[in-house]
Amino acid sequence: MNPNSLPQNPEDDRFMQQLLRKSAEPMPFPDFDDEVMSAITALEAEAVVPQKVPAIESSAAEAAIAADYREELRRMRTASLRLSWLFFLIGLAAGIALLLSTPSYNIGFLGFQGREAWILIQGICLIWLLMQADQLLLLTKEYLSGSRYSAAKRNKRSAA
């Protein structure tokens, strides 16, 4: 059964909330504060102080910091990709509008005249458009699969 398709059950949620609130107990170790401060004092005696720069001593804290950075990078990548698509579509619409609204002036382009010149211009624009679209689709595919930024690739690059 797909839990995503289950209707919300407020009564069940309230019941669970009451259960879990009932389960909450204070820590049964009255000397815990002193034990933590003693451990910190012992570390200070070894000349370890709170550092402004992250010290890589704990995989847990390091992972927490790395997770923050990864989340921030993910948000930046998402915003960049959305803007790329937005401007691509705006440019596409503007280009189409320009081509349709421009009357067929008798212009010359690279040795071609009139209609042939317009066809050549449109052909060049179409090729350029397809190249940009291809790059944007590739970027989107990499973003969705996460392959560009995967740990495996990073390790491979750093090993190389």
| 78 forms part of the interface with another protein (CB under 8 A) | no
CB 145 → another protein: shortest distance, Å? 15
| 74 forms part of the interface with another protein (CB under 8 A) | no
Query: Out of 15, 91, 116, 137, which residue is the one contacting another protein (CB under 8 A)?
Result: 15
Exposure string for 144-153, b = 16+ CB within 10 A, e = fewer: eeeeeeeeee
Query: Out of 7, 8, 10, 21, which residue is the one contacting another protein (CB under 8 A)?
Result: 21
CB contact at 8 A, 129 and 95:
yes
N-terminal to C-terminal alpha carbon distance within the chain = 46
CB contact at 8 A, 56 and 62:
yes
Phi, psi of 109 (to 5 degrees): -150, 115
Rounded distance between C-alpha atoms, residue 134 and residue 65, angstroms: 35
Decide whether 16 or 126 has the Cβ nearer to another protein: 16
CB 13 → another protein: shortest distance, Å? 8
Decide whether 33 or 116 has the Cβ nearer to another protein: 33
Decide whether 35 or 134 has the Cβ nearer to another protein: 35
Q: Where are the alpha helices (DSSP H) in 26-105?
A: 32-45, 59-101
Site string for another protein, 36-65 (x = CB under 8 A): xx-xxx-xx---x-xxxxxx-xxxxx-xxx
CB contact at 8 A, 78 and 123:
no
The continuous run of DSSP H or E covering 112 comes out as strand 112-113
CB 51 → another protein: shortest distance, Å? 5
* Site of interaction with another protein (CB under 8 A): 3-4, 6, 12-13, 15-29, 32-33, 35-37, 39-41, 43-44, 48, 50-55, 57-61, 63-65, 67-68, 71
